[in-house]
Amino acid sequence: MELQKIDIRSLTLDQLKAAFVANGDKAFRGQQVYEWLWKKSAHSFEQMSNLNFETRNWLQTNYAIHAVEVVDKQVSNDGTIKSGFKLYDNKLVEGVLIPADERMTACVSSQVGCSLTCRFCATGKLDRERNLSPDEIYDQVVHIRNWAQQHYQNPLTNIVFMGMGEPLLNYANVLKGIEKITSPEGLGMSAERITVSTAGIAKMIKKLADDNVRFNLALSLHAANDTKRNMIMPINESNNLKAVGEALQYFYKKTKKRVTFEYIAFKNFNEGLEDAKELLQFCKLVPSKVNIIEYNPTGDGQFEKADSSKIDKFCQYLEKNGVIAKVRRSRGKDIDAACGQLANKKHEEALIKEDQ
């Protein structure tokens, strides 16, 4: 039986150095390998050209690099690029590059599937299969950064955790992945340009504050009234608006970071003046801004997107009352790359078939 190789990127720098020393080699070799893995994003031991053949062979025998592969990359009419990401165990997630002038935003996944079953979300219809590891999160960013360079000759400027999964239910790995993306030993990107989006796990929002994170936080709010929010986001039953609101106040007190509220406007559900008033009250809890998101139908006919005239009125009401609010039009619709579309069933099946 072949022994399971260790995912080399699960080791810390110290552990890597210790492994080399235990193998009768120099500690600095561990440092070199660490640089290949996290700074130069190496996906094979052969690439590590400053190591001799024996060392590379030893690595190859004992360790694996669980490299994420790009499958079925598609470019939308509006320049948005989406791809499936195949993980080492053949599971799939997806990521997107959203170009807007000089701004290049990567949208990445944190879990395979999702456990939260938000009614309007395509990923919510899948089971949560597993968490992504820090290296799988890092790899998605590296791939998307390469697309920005290849297609638009621009560096990646922003990262949002708005792909598949609930990042705060994969807390440790998401933070470790971000650490590799931001540290000078890794990609050296600014944490200020990263936004983690959550459906609202109060306890973990407080933990972010305690851990004094430097990245931004977005809450997928979608209704500022518990009855309505319970109807579309079951997580609200155990993490209601009061609990989430308090957690956000705690977060702001510690980090001084303004929170973003995402609010999908659904027709005949949450786009009326009463809803805007409730949202305004919620916004007063903590310095914040609102992104009003156009709903992308997921094919089950349960929800419809609100009329533009209603959305505009909704937005104007908020602005008139001192809230920073913007309407976000959907991008990449023709390739199912728009928000909430990443687990589009038909597409997922096609990806799986292609792989067989």
Q: Are 233 and 222 contacting, i.e. CB atoms less than 8 angstroms apart? A: yes
Amino acid identity of residue 248, one-letter, is L
Structure tokens belonging to residue 208: 């972010």
Residue 152 to residue 351: CA distance in whole angstroms: 26
Catalytic residue among 185, 237, 339, 348: 339
Structure tokens belonging to residue 16: 């890597």
Instruction: Write down the least CB distance from residue 17 to ligand SAH, Å.
Output: 36
Q: Are 85 and 91 contacting, i.e. CB atoms less than 8 angstroms apart? A: no
Q: In terms of CB distance, is 46 or 307 closer to ligand SAH?
A: 307
Instruction: Write down the least CB distance from residue 164 to ligand SAH, Å.
Output: 7
Distances (CA, A) of 158 to 71, 97, 104, 193, 223: 23, 10, 6, 5, 27
Q: Are 351 and 84 contacting, i.e. CB atoms less than 8 angstroms apart? A: yes
Catalytic residue among 2, 69, 94, 136: 94
DSSP H or E run through 238: helix 235-238
State yes or no: is 94 an active-site residue: yes
Instruction: Write down the least CB distance from residue 109 to ligand SAH, Å.
Output: 8
Distances (CA, A) of 64 to 5, 107, 136, 306: 6, 26, 13, 49
Q: Which positions lie near ligand SAH, rule CB under 6 A?
A: 120-121, 162, 166, 197-199, 220, 262, 264, 293, 295-296, 298, 339-340
Q: In terms of CB distance, is 209 or 264 closer to ligand SAH?
A: 264
Q: In terms of CB distance, is 55 or 195 closer to ligand SAH?
A: 195
Instruction: Write down the least CB distance from residue 266 to ligand SAH, Å.
Output: 9
Instruction: Write down the least CB distance from residue 63 to ligand SAH, Å.
Output: 32
Residue 50 to residue 205: CA distance in whole angstroms: 43
Q: In terms of CB distance, is 16 or 293 closer to ligand SAH?
A: 293
Q: In terms of CB distance, is 55 or 216 closer to ligand SAH?
A: 216
Residues annotated as part of the active site: 94, 339
